[in-house]
Amino acid sequence: MEDIIRFFDSHAEKWDSYWKEEEFGIIRKILERSSLSQEDSVLDIASGTGILVPYFLEFGVVASCIQGIDISPKMVEIFSQKFPQIPVICGDFLLKTLPENNYSYAIIFNSFPHFLEPEKVFEKVSKLLKPKGKLVVAHTKTREALDRHHQNSGSTVRTHRLLEDKLFLQYYQKYGFTDVILDNSLYFYTQGVKK
Ligand SMILES: C[S@@+](CC[C@H](N)C(=O)[O-])C[C@H]1O[C@@H](n2cnc3c(N)ncnc32)[C@H](O)[C@@H]1O
């Protein structure tokens, strides 16, 4: 875990400069298709520098109803500088205590392959969501492009791969999610609704 923290810490300062204009369009599509609304209380898991925050606000989510969490202290520091009004926690999502039955919308954006125990992520998110709450796992790239990107990175994350489709489907079901969507046509997108 230390190497993952070091890796993202080392990229935090430059993180926002890596983004390309077309990726912001994909963020809007992801939030739109997952029906994010002003009623939602949002958990942004592996929130990085808060790249999603302006879009949550654009969709009408109330600032105090957004909670970020990220394991990299530097990412969290930049998040807090950019958005002092938005609560963000520094720590491992699987280890930090968060309120159960509390959020209506949890998103793991551009981050899922970095979770080394993916099944435990489903188990925990299921406890944190309210009934009818939604889990969205999405990327700006397709599965193939994403796995290539990590493989060619020559860095700590080179062995990180996106969970197989069949395991996504299995874990959604095992941890009480229904109405599952899995789509890899233009970019990778999955969602499930907690029963
Ligand atoms: C590729 S970055 C994406 C950040 C942000 N979602 C974005 O799109 O800009 C992956 C993030 O996952 C975070 N991360 C990795 N493992 C984590 C864990 N176990 N708990 C919380 N955050 C984690 C990293 O620190 C990093 O900020």
**pLDDT > 70 fraction of the chain, expressed in percent and rounded:** 99
> What domain count does the chain have?
1
169 φ/ψ angles, rounded to the nearest 5 degrees: -65, -40
Rounded-to-integer distance, Cα 90 and Cα 92, Å: 7
Rounded-to-integer distance, Cα 135 and Cα 142, Å: 19
What distance in angstroms lies between residue 76's CA and the mean position of ligand 1's atoms?
10
What distance in angstroms lies between residue 79's CA and the mean position of ligand 1's atoms?
12
**14-44, pLDDT tens digit by residue?**
999 999 889 999 999 999 999 999 999 999 9
- pLDDT, the chain, mean: 96
Asked if 124 and 194 count as a contact pair (C-beta separation under 8 A), the reply is: no
What distance in angstroms lies between residue 118's CA and the mean position of ligand 1's atoms?
13
CATH number where 172 lies: 3.40.50.150
Residues 6+ apart with CB under 8 A from 92: 1, 71
Q: What is the dihedral of CA 57, 63, 65, 71, to 10 degrees?
A: 90
Domain that holds residue 130: 2-194
**What's the alpha-carbon Rg for the chain, to the nearest Å?**
15
Asked if 190 and 180 count as a contact pair (C-beta separation under 8 A), the reply is: yes
pLDDT of residue 154: 67
Q: Which atom of ligand 1 is nearest to the CA of 72?
A: 25
pLDDT of residue 187: 97
Ligand 1 site-directed mutation target among 7, 8, 78, 158, most atoms within 8 Å of CB: 8
Question: Can you say whether residue 176 is alpha, beta or left, with left for phi > 0 and alpha for psi between -120 and 50 degrees?
Answer: left
**116-137, pLDDT tens digit by residue?**
999 999 999 999 999 999 999 9
In this structure, the residue with its CA closest to atom 2 of ligand 1 is 111
The answer on pLDDT for 185 being more than 80 is yes
Asked if 93 and 67 count as a contact pair (C-beta separation under 8 A), the reply is: no
**73-111, pLDDT tens digit by residue?**
999 999 999 999 999 999 999 999 999 999 999 999 999
Q: Which atom of ligand 1 is nearest to the CA of 44?
A: 6
What distance in angstroms lies between residue 97's CA and the mean position of ligand 1's atoms?
17
The answer on pLDDT for 13 being more than 80 is yes
Q: Which atom of ligand 1 is nearest to the CA of 15?
A: 9
| Among the listed residues 75, 68, 55, the one whose alpha carbon sits nearest the alpha carbon of residue 108 | 68
Tokens matching residue 30: 């992801």
What distance in angstroms lies between residue 40's CA and the mean position of ligand 1's atoms?
22
pTM score, whole prediction: 0.96
